[in-house]
Structure 1
Amino acid sequence: MAERRTRADALSNRTRILHVARELLSSTSDLPMNAVAKAAGVGQGTLYRNFPTREALLTEVYRADVDRLVASAASLLEQHEPVAALRRWLDEVADYARVKRGVLAALEPRSGHALAASHSGPIGEAVDLLLDAGKREGSIRVDVDAHDVLILLGSLSRLDGTEAAGRARRILGLIVDGLRARG
Structure 2
Amino acid sequence: MNKKPKSSSSKISREEVNRRRILDSARKLFIEHGGVEGVNMHQIAKTAGVGQASLYRRYTEIGDICIEIVREECQPLFDEVQAYLDQSPEVAPLDRLYQVIVRFVAFLEAKIPWLCAVSRASSGHRPLQSPLYQWMRNTCRDLLNEAVERGEVSKVDVPYTVEALMATLHNIDFHMKNQGFLTERILQGVYRIFIEGLKDDSGAKTTR
Shared fold, TM over 0.5 = yes
Q: In 1, distance between residues paired with 2:51 and 2:108?
A: 32
The structure with more radius of gyration: 2
- Indicate if the aligned counterparts of 2:45 and 2:55 stay in contact, CA closer than 8 A: yes
Q: In 1, distance between residues paired with 2:183 and 2:26?
A: 24
Matches within 5 A, 1:113-124: 113=126, 116-117=128-129, 121-124=134-137
- Indicate if the aligned counterparts of 1:91 and 1:172 stay in contact, CA closer than 8 A: no
Q: What does the per-residue CA deviation read over 1:100-151, in whole Å, with 9 as the maximum and x for residues that have no partner?
A: 42464698xxx422x7447655431122345567x59x9xx74675234223
Structure 2: 5+ residue runs without aligned partners?
Answer: 1-5, 197-205
Q: In 2, distance between residues paired with 1:57 and 1:92?
A: 21
Structure 1: 5+ residue runs without aligned partners?
Answer: none
- Indicate if the aligned counterparts of 1:76 and 1:88 stay in contact, CA closer than 8 A: no
Pick closer, same or farther for the CA change 1:48–1:118 going to 2, 3 Å. Answer: closer
- Indicate if the aligned counterparts of 1:70 and 1:126 stay in contact, CA closer than 8 A: no
Q: In 2, distance between residues paired with 1:19 and 1:168?
A: 31
Equivalence for 1:173: 187
Equivalence for 1:156: 172
1:146 equivalent among 157, 162, 167: 162
Q: TM-score, normalised by structure 1?
A: 0.62
Q: In 2, distance between residues paired with 1:84 and 1:157?
A: 19
1:90 equivalent among 105, 121, 133: 105
- Identity of matched residues, %: 19
- Indicate if the aligned counterparts of 2:128 and 2:170 stay in contact, CA closer than 8 A: no
1:45 corresponds to 2:53: yes
Pick closer, same or farther for the CA change 1:20–1:77 going to 2, 3 Å. Answer: farther
Q: In 1, distance between residues paired with 2:182 and 2:21?
A: 28
State the shift of 1:88 in Å: 1.5
Pick closer, same or farther for the CA change 1:116–1:131 going to 2, 3 Å. Answer: closer
Q: In 1, distance between residues paired with 2:163 and 2:128?
A: 15
Q: In 2, distance between residues paired with 1:84 and 1:171?
A: 15
Specify the SS of the correspondent of 1:112.
coil
State the shift of 1:177 in Å: 4.0
Pick closer, same or farther for the CA change 1:176–1:132 going to 2, 3 Å. Answer: farther
Pick closer, same or farther for the CA change 1:77–1:106 going to 2, 3 Å. Answer: closer
Q: Which moved more, 1:53-62 or 1:34-43?
A: 53-62
Equivalence for 1:8: 13
1:125 corresponds to 2:170: no
Specify the SS of the correspondent of 1:149.
helix
Q: In 2, distance between residues paired with 1:148 and 1:106?
A: 21
RMSD of aligned alpha carbons: 4.3
| Number of aligned residues | 172
Q: In 1, distance between residues paired with 2:99 and 2:128?
A: 27
State the shift of 1:7 in Å: 0.7
